[in-house]
């Protein structure tokens, strides 16, 4: 059976977690292929009695909430072991069965000194900071590329682990002490801390590429779930205001060991408006009451850091770009309900940069920083849409909004989110073959 990739189309927090959870019943494996605990996925599950259970997942794939799914942490992920076990314990305490989790032997470990380096580097950058989540993500991927990283499998060979930690610290401690004027990390303490997780981790560790290939051969459905999103991708995003991993569809292959020829669908999650956390350019950002309304109605506060998210209107130049770099087969528009109550809903269709119209993302980042949105004003609607379960039930203006966005982004909209709950969604086309 084929593999399916699910990515974020904008700057993250589009509702990937909810979409993955929604598909959980129909897939056998959910693989996280990039990022680490910088991600924050909120999944809301409605009980039969009307109660709502909210889960915030950071490191574990969102599929973990479905009892029949095998969750996989792929080789492209960076793992903070303390967070991994905290999250597992937290879910177990709430009755979630986490025993099927499989972790790649090749995934990299976020060493404690990389958490420190992330924070002090940001402080050092001052006004030029990226606004990272401070979880050690960037320095850990830098170590991976620099070939001084620690991998999960190193925890099972104390001699190798010690050598690697000492080699990494030979340079890092100079930087920590001499440049950042902070304390050096002690190799022994780091090694002991990491070894402390080894025995609990051991039964979960596998060659996940092999596990997944065998699963696909046996007819399983595999969902590859991105953390972050297209414009936070280290290659295709708004560099340097990006995360340090490959969050686009191509990253699903390198980050899992599943070849591109196995992937049959790419689903992109697109919020009905735009948000961004951290620094960096954002053409449709709002600084007025409308922005404040989107933030408060959409509850746009970070799942990971609690920071207020920057909010703005839908940007279909970004939607088209996400379609292009990910090869999207299906879009899921989320949070359409948040737009209820606006008289007019502007949609950005192009940019203007120094008097020149751009229908596609400008080649140069400087132009993107200066881009002024060209808006089309669509009619709003005032009816509560959270109870709608078919496209026809939506008010005419909401239908027109979806259809116009679909036309502008160039791929079909297969589902529409109308509320945070698991069932608050309109399905137009099946997301699985
Ligand atoms: P992710 O990082 O892409 O998984 O997204 P987050 O979980 O960080 O942020 C999305 C937020 O929107 C979560 O709080 C979800 O519960 C919520 N959400 C998802 N879909 C919808 C929707 O259709 N309507 C509303 N109102 N909320 C939604
Ligand atoms: P999910 O998976 C939104 C942002 C940070 C910062 C930049 C770099 O929930 O969509 P990092 O700590 O990764 O080095 O920070 O990326 N960022 C996210 N923004 N959603 C996320 O994940 C993010 N993960 C990282 O705010 O601007
Ligand atoms: Mg999030």
| pLDDT tens readout for residues 55-86 | 999 999 999 999 999 999 999 999 999 999 99
Residues 6+ apart with CB under 8 A from 21: 43, 45, 62, 63, 65, 66, 422
Residue found under tokens 């996925």: 41
Q: How far is CA 356 from the centre of its chain?
A: 33
How many A from CA of 247 to the centre of ligand 2? Answer: 11
- On the CB side of 61, CA atoms within 13 Å amount to 37
Residue 218's pLDDT band, with cuts at 50, 70 and 90, is very high
Is 337 marked as a binding-site residue? yes
Per cent of the chain over pLDDT 90 is: 93
Active site residue 315: no
- The pair of structure tokens assigned to 245 is 């991993």
pLDDT in tens, 6-37: 999 999 999 999 999 889 889 999 999 999 99
Whether 236 is in the pocket of ligand 1, judged by its Cβ within 6 Å, is no
Whether 278 is in the pocket of ligand 2, judged by its Cβ within 6 Å, is yes
Neighbours of 270 (CB within 10 A): 31
Quick one: average pLDDT of 345-362?
97
- The lowest-confidence range among 14-23, 161-170, 307-316 is 14-23
pLDDT value at residue 433: 81
Active site residue 41: yes
Residue 377 clears pLDDT 90, i.e. is over it: yes
Whether 234 is in the pocket of ligand 2, judged by its Cβ within 6 Å, is no
How many A from CA of 296 to the centre of ligand 2? Answer: 20
Is 421 marked as a binding-site residue? no
What distance in Å separates the CA atoms of residue 297 and residue 286, rounded to the nearest whole number? 15
What distance in Å separates the CA atoms of residue 106 and residue 153, rounded to the nearest whole number? 7
| Whether pTM exceeds 0.75 | yes
What distance in Å separates the CA atoms of residue 239 and residue 106, rounded to the nearest whole number? 26
Ligand nearest to the CA of 243: 2
Question: Which residue owns the Cα nearest ligand 2 atom 11?
Answer: 132
Residue 1 clears pLDDT 80, i.e. is over it: no
Q: Which of 319, 327, 211, 324 is nearest to 263 (CA)?
A: 327
Residues 6+ apart with CB under 8 A from 273: 294, 298, 311, 312, 313, 314, 335, 338, 339
Pocket test for ligand 2, best of 15, 226, 276, 278 (most atoms within 8 A of CB): 278
Question: Which residue owns the Cα nearest ligand 1 atom 17?
Answer: 420
pLDDT value at residue 399: 98
Whether 418 is in the pocket of ligand 1, judged by its Cβ within 6 Å, is yes
How many A from CA of 12 to the centre of ligand 3? Answer: 6
Residue 50's pLDDT band, with cuts at 50, 70 and 90, is confident
Considering 144, 172, 236, 271, which one is annotated as catalytic? 144
What distance in Å separates the CA atoms of residue 169 and residue 163, rounded to the nearest whole number? 10
What distance in Å separates the CA atoms of residue 380 and residue 398, rounded to the nearest whole number? 7
Whether 8 is in the pocket of ligand 2, judged by its Cβ within 6 Å, is yes
Ligand nearest to the CA of 299: 1
How many A from CA of 420 to the centre of ligand 1? Answer: 6
How many A from CA of 127 to the centre of ligand 3? Answer: 24
Whether 277 is in the pocket of ligand 2, judged by its Cβ within 6 Å, is yes
Considering 21, 28, 41, 80, which one is annotated as catalytic? 41
381: left (phi over 0), alpha (psi -120 to 50) or beta: beta
Active site residue 144: yes
């Amino acid at each position: 059976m084929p593999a399916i990739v699910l990515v974020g189309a904008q700057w993250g927090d589009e509702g990937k977690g909810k979409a993955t959870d929604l598909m959980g019943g129909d897939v056998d494996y959910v693989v996280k292929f990039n990022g680490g605990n910088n991600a924050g996925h909120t999944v809301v599950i409605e009980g039969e009695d009307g109660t709502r259970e909210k889960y915030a997942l950071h490191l574990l794939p969102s599929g973990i909430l479905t009892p029949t799914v095998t969750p996989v942490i792929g080789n492209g992920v960076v793992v903070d072991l303390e967070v991994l076990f905290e999250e597992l314990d937290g879910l177990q305490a709430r009755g979630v069965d986490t025993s099927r989790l499989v972790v790649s032997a090749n995934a990299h470990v976020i060493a404690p000194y990389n958490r420190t380096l992330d924070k002090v580097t940001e402080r050092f950058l001052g006004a030029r900071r990226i606004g990272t989540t401070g979880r050690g993500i960037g320095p850990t991927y830098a170590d991976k590329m620099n070939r001084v990283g620690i991998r999960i499998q190193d925890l099972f060979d104390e001699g190798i682990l010690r050598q690697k930690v000492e080699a990494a610290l030979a340079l890092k401690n100079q930087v920590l002490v001499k440049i950042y004027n902070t304390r050096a990390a002690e190799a022994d303490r780091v090694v002991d801390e990491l070894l402390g997780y080894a025995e609990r981790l051991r039964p979960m560790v596998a060659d996940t590429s092999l596990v997944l290939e065998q699963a696909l051969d046996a007819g399983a459905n595999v969902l590859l779930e991105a953390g972050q999103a297209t414009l936070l991708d280290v290659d295709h995003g708004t560099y340097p205001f990006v995360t340090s991993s490959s969050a686009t569809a191509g990253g699903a292959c390198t980050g899992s060991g599943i070849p591109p020829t196995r992937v049959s669908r790419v689903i992109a999650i697109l919020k009905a408006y735009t948000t961004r956390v951290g620094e960096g350019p954002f053409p449709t950002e709002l600084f007025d009451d409308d922005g404040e309304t989107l933030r408060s109605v959409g509850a746009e506060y970070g799942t990971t850091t609690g920071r207020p998210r920057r909010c703005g209107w839908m940007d279909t130049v970004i939607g088209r770009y996400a379609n292009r770099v990910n090869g999207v087969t299906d879009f899921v528009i989320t949070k359409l309900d948040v737009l209820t109550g606006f008289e007019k809903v502007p949609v950005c269709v192009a940019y203007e940069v120094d008097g020149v119209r751009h229908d596609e993302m400008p080649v140069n980042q400087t132009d993107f920083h200066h881009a002024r949105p060209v808006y089309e004003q669509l009619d709003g609607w005032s009816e509560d849409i959270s109870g709608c379960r078919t496209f026809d039930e939506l008010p005419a203006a909401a239908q027109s909004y979806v259809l116009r966005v679909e036309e502008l982004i160039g791929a079909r909209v297969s589902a529409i989110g109308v509320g945070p709950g698991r069932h608050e969604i309109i399905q137009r086309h099946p997301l699985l073959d």
